[in-house]
Structure 1
Amino acid sequence: MKKFLYVCVIALTAVAVTGCGKKATTRAGGDAASTSGTAGTGTGADGAYGAGSGTGFAAGSLDDPSSPLSQRKIYFGLDRYDVTDEYRSLVEAHAGYLRSSPSAAVTLEGHTDERGSREYNIALGERRSNAVRDLLVALGASASQITTVSYGEEKPASDCHDESCWSQNRRVEIVYTAR
C-alpha cells in the first residue's frame, strides 16, 4: 500500500511538472493568513497537490484506480486515532479535491476492531473520524463539506479474530456523498 502511494505521488508530480503550462499563483491575501503552512500556497507540503482553485484532480479522478483519490481508507494502530505520516499524502489529496470542488461532500466513517466494549469502540471510531476531519480542514477543506460517523466494531471489513483482520478493521473510510 505504501509503495503504491509513493509511486502515485511520484507519477503525479511528474505529470504536474511536465503537463502544466501556467505558473502557479497564490490566492489573494497570500500565505500569511494560513495557519497550516500549506493552505493557499498552490501546493501541499510535498508540492504534489494544489490548493485553492487547482488541484489537478477532476471528479473522474475519484474513480480512476491510478489516482490517489481512489484510495479511501486510512488505517490506525491499536487504540490509536492519530493520522500517521503514511496516510498524510492521501488525506492531502482528498483535501485538495474538496478545496477545488465546493459542491463535493464526504462522510468519514470511523471503525474499530472487535476488542473493547461497544461504548469504547464507538468513541474510538468517532475520535478517528474526527482526526481525519480535523486534518482535512487544516489542509483547506471546508468543514461544511464533511460529516463524521462512528460505527465502532459494527461494520468490520474482515471477520476473522486475529491481528491480520483486526488491523483491517481499524480504519476511517472516506465516502463521497456528493461530487
Structure 2
Amino acid sequence: MQVLKTLALPVLAASLIMTGCANRKPVTDGSNIGTTNLTPGTSVSTDGLSEDAAINAQNLAGASAKGVTEENKAFLAKRVVHFGYDSSELSNVDYQTLQAHAQFLRANANSKIALTGHTDERGTREYNMALGERRAKAVQSYLITSGVNANQLEAVSYGKESPINLGHGEAAWKENRRVELNYEAVPPLLK
C-alpha cells in the first residue's frame, strides 16, 4: 500500500499541473480579440486563422503604396532576378527591378525582405549552397548601396534544393538560377 501511495502522488501532481497549463488562457481586456494591430488606428480580423495565415493577412493588410509609382509598378511586381551559369553578376535588366525595390524599401522602413538564392542542379550541394549565397549577397549588396537599411534585408541560400523548374535542360536551369525577393513585412501595394 505504501508503494502505491509513493507512485500515485507524483503522477497525480503531474496531471494536475498539466491540466492547469492546458486550461490557462492569455490575459486580455477583450479589446483586441480576433484582431492584429498593424499601425495605430488600423487592424485586420484574424478570427479563425492559423498563426501563419494571420501573419499573411497582417502583411497584406499592411501593404504600402508609399514608394510605389506608376513608373516602378511593373518592376515592383517582378520578384525574381536571374543569373548566368556559375555567376553571381547582376544583369542590366535586373538593376531596374532592384532599383524599384530599393526605392520602395527606403520609403517603408518597416518593410522587410528575404533574398533567397538558388542554383541549377549541376554541381555539388556544397558548391551550390555557396553560389546561392553569393547571388543573394550580390542582391543584398546592391540594395544596401542603393540606400536600403541592412536590417530590412536577409540573405539566404537554398542552393539547388528548391528548383522552380524540375527539368534537366538549359531552359530549366536558366529558370532555377535566381534570387527571389520575398517580402516578409509590408509588401508593396500594386493595385
Deviations 1:94-148 (A, max 9, x none): 0000000000000000000000000000000000000000000000100000001
In 2, Cα distance between the equivalents of 1:165 and 1:59? Answer: 36
Higher helix proportion: 2
Name the counterpart of 1:87: 94
SS at match of 1:78: coil
Name the counterpart of 1:138: 145
Name the counterpart of 2:111: 104
Amino acid at match of 2:113: V
1:113 to 115, 120, 123: 120
1:178 is aligned to 2:185: yes
In 1, Cα distance between the equivalents of 2:175 and 2:108? Answer: 30
| Bigger-Rg structure (1/2) | 2
CA RMSD in angstroms, aligned pairs only:
2.0
Larger RCO, structure (CA 8 Å, separation 6 or more) = 2
- The aligned runs of 1:150-161 (5 Å cut-off) are 150-161=157-168
Distance 1:75 1:103, change over 3 A: same
In 1, Cα distance between the equivalents of 2:67 and 2:99? Answer: 18
1:127 is aligned to 2:134: yes
Q: Normalising by the residue count of structure 1, what TM-score does the alignment of the two structures yield?
A: 0.64
Unpaired runs of 5+ in structure 1? 1-56
Amino acid at match of 2:129: I
Aligned-pair distance for 1:60?
A: 9.7
Amino acid at match of 1:84: S
Q: Percent identity?
A: 44
In 2, Cα distance between the equivalents of 1:71 and 1:109? Answer: 14
In 2, Cα distance between the equivalents of 1:89 and 1:76? Answer: 15
Aligned-pair distance for 1:59?
A: 5.8
Amino acid at match of 1:71: K
Distance 1:59 1:160, change over 3 A: farther
Moved over 2 A (4+): none
SS at match of 1:148: strand
Amino acid at match of 2:126: E
In 1, Cα distance between the equivalents of 2:65 and 2:123? Answer: 41
Unpaired runs of 5+ in structure 2? 1-63, 187-191
In 1, Cα distance between the equivalents of 2:66 and 2:185? Answer: 10
